[in-house]
């Protein structure tokens, strides 16, 4: 129980109190190559939407676009202020190239954004079949941390490219520091993205859970115009088995529906 409880707390704090780097990837890409470059469209490639003269949204505008209660069926939306870092300065990497990955995992902007917001979604008790999906005793909890960031010009495309480049540069692992704690990421791998939006890229990370075992976590980053959304999911009930939780397609679809 000790390991599972500490893992849950670490995941919810995104690297604050202890353990994890939050990430997730799923669906998309080429049918012939399920992990082709880890991106549905080459980062930096021409977008279906022109972003050359795009203006970033304000924080207030992003807040209205962030998933709220009732937006994603089967999920409860919660303010991320209590579970996610408030600033990028709170989450640091020992390798500059890996910083975009660490930030994406923490619900923070993976690039130099003009505005960003975040929250968390928990699969509702009715959906999990648990009488209390937030109970640390059952650990029958699935959470997805969502971040939105907006950029002027082609900043969003550069942010996605930074994540794509970071996946390759950080394959051997890196270290994340936050709140006086450090988390060792042992490996980074490209995963098959959803193919949603104008660009999507996904990756998984292997992480040492406070010296008590290893776990794998997934993250996906999706761009729609000059707005980037990030998704990191964790299923606390599956941590003991080491099985990584996929980013729920329902959450991605619900968020993108508000961005279009």
For range 57-72, the mean pLDDT: 94
| pLDDT at 117 (0 to 100) | 94
Residue 77 has pLDDT above 50, yes or no: yes
| Chain centroid offset of residue 94 CA | 19
Band of residue 169 on the pLDDT scale cut at 50, 70, 90: very high
Query: What is the per-residue DSSP string for the chain?
Result: -HHHHHHHHHHHTTTSSSS-------S-S-SS-TTSTTBSS-TTSPPSS--TT--PPPHHHHHHHS--TTSSTTEEEEEGGGTS-SSGGGSEESSGGGHHHHHHHTTS-SS--SEEEEEEEEE-HHHHT-S-TT-TTT---EEEEEEEEE-STTHHHHHHHHHHHHHHHTTT-EEEEETTEEEEEEEEEEE-----SSEEEEEEEEEE-TTS-EEEEEEEEEEETTEEEEEEEEEGGGGGGTPPPPPPHHHHHHHHHHH-
Distances (CA, A) of 7 to 4, 55, 123, 217, 254: 5, 39, 18, 12, 28
| pLDDT at 84 (0 to 100) | 76
Band of residue 240 on the pLDDT scale cut at 50, 70, 90: low
| pLDDT at 241 (0 to 100) | 66
Residue 93 has pLDDT above 70, yes or no: yes
How does pLDDT run across 104-130, given as a tens digit for each residue?
998 999 999 999 999 999 986 655 554
| pLDDT at 17 (0 to 100) | 28
Residue 220 has pLDDT above 70, yes or no: yes
Share of the chain above pLDDT 70, in %: 68
Structure tokens that stand for 111 in this block: 């690039």
How does pLDDT run across 174-217, given as a tens digit for each residue?
998 887 778 889 999 999 999 999 999 999 998 876 666 778 88
Residue 41 has pLDDT above 90, yes or no: no
> CB atoms < 10 A from the CB of 61, how many?
14
8 A C-beta contact, residue 237 and residue 5: no
| pLDDT at 22 (0 to 100) | 33
Q: Which residue has the higher pLDDT, 174 or 23?
A: 174
| Cα dihedral across residues 6, 12, 16, 20: positive or negative | positive
pTM for this predicted structure: 0.79
Structure tokens that stand for 130 in this block: 């648990």
Structure tokens that stand for 176 in this block: 């994340």
Residue the block writes with tokens 């040492």: 208
């Amino acid at each position: 129980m000790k390991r599972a409880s500490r893992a849950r707390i670490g995941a919810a704090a995104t690297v604050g109190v202890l353990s994890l780097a939050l990430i997730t990837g799923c669906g998309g890409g080429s049918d012939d190559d399920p992990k082709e470059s880890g991106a549905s469209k080459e980062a930096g490639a021409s977008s279906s939407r022109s972003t050359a003269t795009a203006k970033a949204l304000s924080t207030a505008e992003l807040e209205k676009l962030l998933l709220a209660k009732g937006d994603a069926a089967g999920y409860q939306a919660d303010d991320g202020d209590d579970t996610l870092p408030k600033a990028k300065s709170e989450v640091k990497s020992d390798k500059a190239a890996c910083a975009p990955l660490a930030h994406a995992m923490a619900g923070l902007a993976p690039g130099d954004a003009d505005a960003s917001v975040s929250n968390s979604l928990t699969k509702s008790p009715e959906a999990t079949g648990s009488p209390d999906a937030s109970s640390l005793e059952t650990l029958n909890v699935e959470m997805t941390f969502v971040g939105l960031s907006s950029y002027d010009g082609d900043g969003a495309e550069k942010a996605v490219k930074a994540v794509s480049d970071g996946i390759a540069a950080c394959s051997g692992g890196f270290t994340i520091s936050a709140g006086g704690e450090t988390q060792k990421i042992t490996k980074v791998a490209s995963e098959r993205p959803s193919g949603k939006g104008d660009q999507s890229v996904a990756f998984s990370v292997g992480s040492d859970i406070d010296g008590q075992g290893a776990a794998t976590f997934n993250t996906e980053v999706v761009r729609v115009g000059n707005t980037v959304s990030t998704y990191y999911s964790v299923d606390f009930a599956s941590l003991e088995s080491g099985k990584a939780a996929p980013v729920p397609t329902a959450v991605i679809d619900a968020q993108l529906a508000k961005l279009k």
